[in-house]
């Protein structure tokens, strides 16, 4: 079973995503950037779902940059921005900053799974 690495600080969102994904994936959750940096060393994710506002000194965009620069993840591992940032231009901004995909909150199961399927097909 493929692993999805969820980096999300909101407990309710973690619970929701775990329930949506656990039948198809092993879900590993980190709630802080520090926890994410520790756990990413121990897993081989097929996909990373990352919140942007992690209520920490380091946001999701900075964490992705650290992952890539320090080669914490293989460059072929897709990373999806899963965020409440949904203003015009936000999607493009996150894609330009290195994310492979973008889904804004709130989302439906269908939208999320469509994006996940598209990322894992490549």
Q: Which residues contact 114 (CB under 8 A, 6 or more apart)?
A: none
CA angle centred on 21, ends 60 and 96, rounded to 5°: 30
**What are 10-31's pLDDT values in tens digits?**
999 999 999 999 999 999 999 9
- What is residue 58's predicted lDDT score, i.e. its pLDDT? 85
**What are 41-85's pLDDT values in tens digits?**
999 999 999 999 998 788 999 999 999 999 889 889 999 999 999
CA angle centred on 34, ends 30 and 39, rounded to 5°: 50
Give the three-state DSSP class for 26.
strand
Domains along the chain with CATH numbers: 3-121 (3.40.50.2300)
Under a CB-based contact definition with an 8 Å cutoff, are residues 115 and 103 in contact?
yes
The structure's pTM equals: 0.94
**What are 97-114's pLDDT values in tens digits?**
999 999 999 999 999 999
Give the three-state DSSP class for 52.
coil
């Amino acid at each position: 079973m493929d692993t999805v690495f969820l980096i999300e600080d909101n407990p309710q969102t973690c619970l929701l995503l775990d329930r949506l994904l656990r039948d198809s994936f092993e879900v590993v959750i980190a709630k802080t950037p520090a926890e994410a940096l520790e756990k990413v060393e121990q897993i081989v994710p097929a996909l990373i779902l990352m919140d942007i506002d992690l209520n920490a000194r380091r946001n999701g965009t900075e964490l992705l940059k650290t992952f890539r620069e320090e080669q914490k993840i293989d460059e072929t591992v897709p990373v999806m921005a899963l965020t409440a940032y949904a203003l015009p231009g936000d999607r493009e901004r996150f894609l330009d900053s290195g994310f492979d995909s973008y889904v804004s909150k709130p989302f439906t199961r269908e939208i999320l799974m469509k994006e996940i399927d598209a990322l894992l097909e490549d």
